[in-house]
Structure 1
Amino acid sequence: MAGDERNFRSSYYEKVGFRSVEEKKSLEILLKDKPLDKIKLKQFSLRFTVPGIYRSFIWKILLEIVPIHVTSHTFVMQQREHEYKDLHRALQVIGLINDDTPKPQMYLLMWLLETGKLRFDWHAQIESDAYHNFLCIAKTVLEMLDNDVEAYWISKGFIRCVSKFQDDVPRLTESIMSLLEKEDNELFRIWDKLASGSCKILVFVALVLLITLRRMLLKCTTAEKIIESLNNPMGDLVV
C-alpha cells in the first residue's frame, strides 16, 4: 500500500513539474547511509540532476576528495585546507602569484607545483594548450562554488576525470558525428555526469555546441576561423 502511494505521488509530482521534489527526497535518503554508498550516489548523479544545495558535497564524494565516512569529513577537509594554504603561500614567497592573480591561473600554478610539473618558464607553460582544460574547468567551478579550497580540489578532481577520457577521444568523435546526423540537441547537466565518471556526456556537449554555432561555422573559410568560433562561442552568439 505504501509503495502504491509513493508511486502515485511520484507520478503526480512529475506531471505537475515537481519531479525534483522526489529526487531531492531520494538523495536525502541515500545521504543517511553510513558509510555513504558511492555507487548509489554515482547512479543517482548519472540519472538525475543533483540539487544545488548538495552539489559540492556529492562532487567531493564522487571525486574522492573526502571519504565515504562522513565522520571523517571535517578532519579531511581541514587537511585539504592546510595543503591549499601551503601551496598558496609557497607561490607567494617565490613571487609567482599576488592578490591580482586570476584564481584559475593561481589554481593551475598550485596544481603544477603540487604535482612537481612547474617549470622555470611557467609563463609559457600555462599558456600552452596542454593546460587550457584546467583553466576552463577552474573558471567554471569558481562560478558555481564560493569556497576557494573546495573549488581548487574539485577542479583537480574534474581534470583527473578528463585526463582519463583522453584515450576515448576517437570513439567520442565518432559518436558526435553519428549524433549530428540525428540532430539530437538535448543538453544534460554536464558536471554532475562528469563527476560520476561518464565521459559520454562530452559527446552531447560537443554536439550542442556545433548545432548552436552551425550558422557561424558555415561562414568560416579557414580552420583558424573555426577554432576561433569554437573557443569563443558566446561572442559568436552575440554577433
Structure 2
Amino acid sequence: MTLNYISVNSYKNRLHHCKMTDERNFRSSYYEKVGCRGVEEKKSLEILMKEKPWDKVKLKQFCLRFTVPAAYRNLVWKVLLDILPVYPDSHQFVMEQRTEQYQDLLYAVEKFDFVSTDAPRTQVLFEMWLLENEERKPPLFPETNFSSAETFIPIVNTLLELYDDEVDVYWLAKSLTDVVRNMQRELPKLKEAFITMLEKEDGDVFNHLVDINAMEVLPLTKWFNCCFAGILDDTSLTKIWDKVCSGAPKILSFAAVMLVITLRRNILRSKHSDEVLKCVSQIPEQCEEVVANKAIELWQYYGAQPQNDTLAKK
C-alpha cells in the first residue's frame, strides 16, 4: 500500500521526528484533544504583546511556529511588515498618520479622475498605489518582467474579504507587494526548492511531469508572486501569509509542492502539459485547506526557518 502524497519511509521518519521534538506540556496536549487547540499559543502571543517594546524577533519566531490567532492577525502583520512600530503606545498615532495618507491618496485619485466614483474598490486602491509610486501604468518587477498588478490586485481582493477597514487593506497590500518585489531575485531558489521537494516527496508525480514536459507549464512564478492569492481560499491563505510576513517566503515553495501532490490523481491521468495546466488551475474547494495545512506541516518538518530577513522589509 502506498500513501497519497509521501513515501512510507518519509512518513515513518516524519512520525519519528514529531515524537522526538514534541515539547508541548500535558495541558497543551489536553487542550488540543478536547478541541481547544491554540489556547496556549494565544496566551503566549498575548504575553509577547504585553512587552514594551515588542520583541520582533520573538514575534517572528512565534509566527513561524504557530498560526496567528485571527483576533490578533491584523495587528501582528502590521508590526511584522513595519506598518506599525514595535512600541504599542505609538500604534494609535502612527495609524492616524497612515489613515491621513490613505485619505490624501483617495482624494487625489478621485479629484484627478484617475478612477471613476463607482469603480470597484480593488481598482481604486490600485490607482492609489500607482499614484503613491508615481506611476501611471503598473511597473514591472525588473528581475522577472512580471507585472506588479498581478501581485497587488489579487492580494487586495483577498484582504478585502478578510478585513473591513480599507486603510488596513491598503497598507497590508502595499507592504506584501513590497515583500514580493524584494523576493524576485529569490524566485530561482524557490523554484529549485519546489523541484527538489516534489521529487523527494512524490517521485511518481515528478517523473510524470518530466516525461510529458509539463514541469515548465506549472505557473510557479504566478503562484509565488501573488502569494497564492486567488489560488487558495482566504482562510487557508492566512496561515501561509503568517509565514510570509515573518520573513519566510520559502513556505510558498512548500505550498506549490502540496498543491501539485494533492492533485496527483488528475495529474497522473494527464497525457499532455495543457491538461496539467488545466488541472492545477481548477483546484477543488475542499482541497484548499488541505494544501495549506500540509504545506506548513512539510515546511516545519524541513526546519521552518526564515529564508531571508530582508525579504519582509520594505
TM-score by length of structure 2 reads 0.64
Q: 1:206 aligns with which of 256, 271, 274?
A: 256
Look up the SS of the partner of 2:29 in the other structure: helix
The separation in 1 between residues aligned to 2:94 and 2:29, in whole angstroms, is 40
Cα distance, 1:172 vs structure 2: 1.0
Cα distance, 1:222 vs structure 2: 5.6
Q: 1:70 aligns with which of 78, 88, 97?
A: 88
RMSD of Structure 2 on Structure 1 (CA): 2.8
Number of residues paired by the alignment? 223
The separation in 2 between residues aligned to 1:68 and 1:27, in whole angstroms, is 14
* In the alignment, structure 1 residue 37 sits paired with structure 2 residue 52: no
Correspondence list, 1:121-200, <5 A: 129-181=147-199, 182-183=201-202, 189-200=239-250
Look up the SS of the partner of 2:38 in the other structure: helix
Change in 2 beyond 3 A, CA 1:9/1:62: same
Larger proportion of helix: 1
Deviations 1:18-64 (A, max 9, x none): 33000000001111001111111111111100000000000010000
What letter matches 1:93 in structure 2? K
Cα distance, 1:7 vs structure 2: 3.1
The separation in 2 between residues aligned to 1:232 and 1:107, in whole angstroms, is 28
The separation in 1 between residues aligned to 2:103 and 2:43, in whole angstroms, is 36
* In the alignment, structure 1 residue 94 sits paired with structure 2 residue 144: no
Partner of 1:3: none
The separation in 2 between residues aligned to 1:234 and 1:91, in whole angstroms, is 38
The separation in 2 between residues aligned to 1:232 and 1:92, in whole angstroms, is 37
Change in 2 beyond 3 A, CA 1:163/1:217: farther
The separation in 1 between residues aligned to 2:62 and 2:262, in whole angstroms, is 29
Look up the SS of the partner of 1:19 in the other structure: coil
Contact conserved, 2:110 with 2:117, CA < 8 A, in 1? no
What letter matches 1:31 in structure 2? M
The separation in 2 between residues aligned to 1:213 and 1:153, in whole angstroms, is 34
Contact conserved, 2:152 with 2:177, CA < 8 A, in 1? yes
Partner of 2:103: 85
Percent identity over the alignment? Answer: 45
Cα distance, 1:232 vs structure 2: 5.7
The separation in 2 between residues aligned to 1:32 and 1:105, in whole angstroms, is 38
Correspondence list, 1:105-116, <5 A: 105-116=123-134
What letter matches 1:26 in structure 2? S
The separation in 1 between residues aligned to 2:53 and 2:268, in whole angstroms, is 50
Gaps of 5+ in 1: 1-5
Change in 2 beyond 3 A, CA 1:101/1:209: farther
Which shows bigger deviation, 45-54 or 138-147? 138-147
Contact conserved, 1:217 with 1:229, CA < 8 A, in 2? no
Change in 2 beyond 3 A, CA 1:109/1:21: same
The separation in 2 between residues aligned to 1:87 and 1:220, in whole angstroms, is 50
